[in-house]
Amino acid sequence: MGRVCRVHEAPFLVNSRTASRNAPAGPSPFAVEAKALPREKFSDPALTAKGEPRASVPLVGLDTLWLNTGTLCNLACATCYIESSPTNDALIYLGAKDARRFLAEAEQARVREIGFTGGEPFMNPAMIPMLEDSLARGFEVLVLTNAMRPMRRREAALLALREEHGARLTMRVSLDHHSKAVHEAERGPRSWEPAMEGLQWLSRYDFSVAVAGRLLPGEGENDARECYARLFKDEGIGIDAFDPARLVLFPEMDADKDIAEITTACWSILGKSPKDIMCASSRMVVHRKGEAAPRVVACTLIPHDPGFDMGATLAEAAGDVALNHPHCARFCVLGGASCSA
Ligand code: SF4
Ligand code: SF4
């Protein structure tokens, strides 16, 4: 008998963040089950709450520069880490002129890849010019999108870019789960079919395409990959669900839930190297509302915390990053492991 792919039934209520008609049900199916984070944790960049030296990550080499296109999104997912919605413009649209300045600096720094994330990047009116600029400069480009209406409105421009640059442009589509019920419990009603249609369009026209998904609490990665593989086969989507670069499955994140702090001793206890952590090789440009110009932050996950604002230029942003945020522990270092001796 074949594997039974899990679904999760959830009522579709109203999201407190927005009254958007796309708002999802109350609790996210991906909610982290843990007690509240004690206030004394993640409060000192040098020391943990127990007084131990906090771990930090040096910039080994800038490989990926992320451009945050702005927080506005056509969706308002229950646990969007950046709290995007149709009304949240805490990060305003990045302008093509500002992007050009950072792309020029990235060329000097021999950056390999430019990543675009939001919000929904295709909400930004300068998205196509920024893509053209990035590809014309020879970068590899990765776009994180929900593949819904904002992307579909740019089909002609995207086809032209694919024609000219081929697989240097990769579109990574968020499909939170292999079941419609869980995906819509997180992303809102009527969010499944448009995402599937967007994915099918990208696949049909031979884009380099990937999917970003998530695991339910207790759901095994292999089981999830098998279920995604069945979905992709049934829906005619040309993605190898067993290739971790084509189907990326993320652990859960919740900045309000308790998690161990990361000390300098954790690296050897876990057998991990700071060089493997995302902020050893990437930075993100954000333009906060009320600020005259974009700034560079440590990574895609922490756009607002002033402790992770690294400077006004890539050169200024080359310093070490103190792992002083719950996301550093839960998402990047522990990923479900424990570094308690
Ligand atoms: S589609 Fe992405 S950016 Fe938009 S609300 Fe959902 S998780 Fe956030
Ligand atoms: S969450 Fe923390 S550890 Fe992870 S990339 Fe960002 S700054 Fe680095």
Cβ–Cβ under 8 Å, residues 266 and 55? yes
Specify if 269 maps to a domain.
Answer: no
Number of domains in the chain: 1
Start-end of H helices in the chain = 96-108, 127-136, 149-152, 155-165, 180-187, 192-204, 221-235, 266-270, 326-327
CB atoms within 10 A of CB 146: 26
Does 306 fall in a domain? yes
127: containing domain: 61-261+277-320
How much is the pLDDT for 338?
Answer: 47
Q: pLDDT per residue over 209-223, tens digit each?
A: 999 999 998 899 999
CATH number at residue 138: 3.20.20.70
The H-or-E segment that residue 190 falls in is none
31-40, 122-131, 168-177, 223-232: range with lowest mean pLDDT? 31-40
In a domain, 30, yes or no: no
Between 93-102, 158-167, 249-258, the lowest mean confidence (pLDDT) is in 249-258
Distance from residue 84's CA to the centre of ligand 1 (Å)? 6
In a domain, 27, yes or no: no
264: CA distance to ligand 1 center in Å? 33
> Closest Cα to atom 2, ligand 1: which residue?
119
Q: Is position 65 within any domain?
A: yes
Question: 313-340 pLDDT, tens per residue?
Answer: 999 999 999 999 999 998 899 874 545 4
The reported pLDDT for the residue numbered 11 is 39
In a domain, 90, yes or no: yes
The predicted model scores a pTM of 0.92
Residue 6 placed within a domain: no
With a 6 Å cutoff on the Cβ, whether 211 touches ligand 1 is: no
Radius of gyration, CA atoms only, the chain: 20
Which residue's CA is the nearest one to ligand 2's atom 3? 328
Among 77, 127, 177, which residue has the most ligand 1 atoms within 8 Å of its CB, making it the best to mutate?
A: 77
Return the closest-CA partner of residue 5 out of 207, 182, 248: 182
Whether 133 is covered by a domain: the verdict is: yes
10 Å Cβ neighbour count for 176? 27
Tell me, in angstroms, the distance from the centre of ligand 2 to residue 332's CA. Answer: 6
- The pLDDT mean for the chain works out to 91
For the CA of 332, the closest atom of ligand 2 is 4
